[in-house]
Amino acid sequence: MSKENKRVSEAVIRRMPKYYRYLKEMKASGIKRISSRELSKKMGLTASQIRQDFNCFGGFGQQGYGYNVEELCDEIQKILGLHKEYNMIVIGAGNLGQALANYSGFEQEGFNIKALFDINPRLVGISIRGIPILDIDHIEGFLSQCEVHIAAICTPKKTAQEMVDRLIECGVKAIWNFAPIDVNAPDDVVVENVHLSDTLYTISLRMNEDYN
């Protein structure tokens, strides 16, 4: 990461996947060019915000002509690291873990789920779309054989941090955590804590904005 990139704010980083979604959709519908004004209208952002966001990554396109949709989409795909392939595992093969394994959208973007792990003997041995559910006790052996880039944590709260520690010990460098706590990791490990409840609570907040 260059010093310049280190200044890209959290908020900008979080908007990049959204740009990608919209651009991919436009590309698929055959749209060739789009102005920042049109893009802003579609996405509910201001045109100046879009230009500022893109400038964080060196800026793209020519403003007079608007952006070339395909080129912009490809650039953002690269920024998101989606031009590469990643091996993933899912820890916890309950409903949420199985939902991740069942969703084909991830592998379309290069995220290949290699295995799920669980402690439940009724789940171990089953396959989800050809992806095996393995015994959690075999995780260290598995990681010594297969390079895993990202681990999704779909365990209950109480075992999440312990599992994260075990995975990091085995060299996993990115954690996608769905357990309802913020898990911690050393600075060289990427951690994304996804709190589904938080998104639900912003709904109830908005439904109650007359609280004063």
Residues contributing to the site for a second copy (CB under 8 A): 1-2, 4-6, 11, 13-14, 16-18, 20-21, 57-58, 78-82, 84, 86, 94-96, 98-100, 102, 105-106, 109, 111, 149-150, 173-174, 176, 180, 182, 190, 192, 194-212
Residue placing its CB nearer to a second copy in the complex, 19 or 67:
19
Q: How far is the CB of 193 from a second copy (least distance, A)?
A: 9
**How far are the Cα atoms of 165, 174, 190 from residue 161, in angstroms, in the given order?**
6, 13, 14
Residue found under tokens 């091996």: 87
End-to-end CA distance of the chain: 45
116 Cβ contact partners less than 8 Å away, ≥ 6 residues apart: 89, 90, 91, 92, 93, 97, 98, 101, 128, 131, 132, 133, 134
Q: Residue 151: which of 172, 130, 134 has the closest Cα?
A: 172
Residue placing its CB nearer to a second copy in the complex, 21 or 37:
21
Q: How far is the CB of 178 from a second copy (least distance, A)?
A: 9
Q: How far is the CB of 64 from a second copy (least distance, A)?
A: 25
Q: How far is the CB of 179 from a second copy (least distance, A)?
A: 11
Q: How far is the CB of 35 from a second copy (least distance, A)?
A: 20
Residue placing its CB nearer to a second copy in the complex, 52 or 138:
52
9 Cβ contact partners less than 8 Å away, ≥ 6 residues apart: 56
Residue placing its CB nearer to a second copy in the complex, 146 or 200:
200
Residue placing its CB nearer to a second copy in the complex, 58 or 125:
58
**How far are the Cα atoms of 25, 120, 157, 158 from residue 162, in angstroms, in the given order?**
40, 17, 10, 8
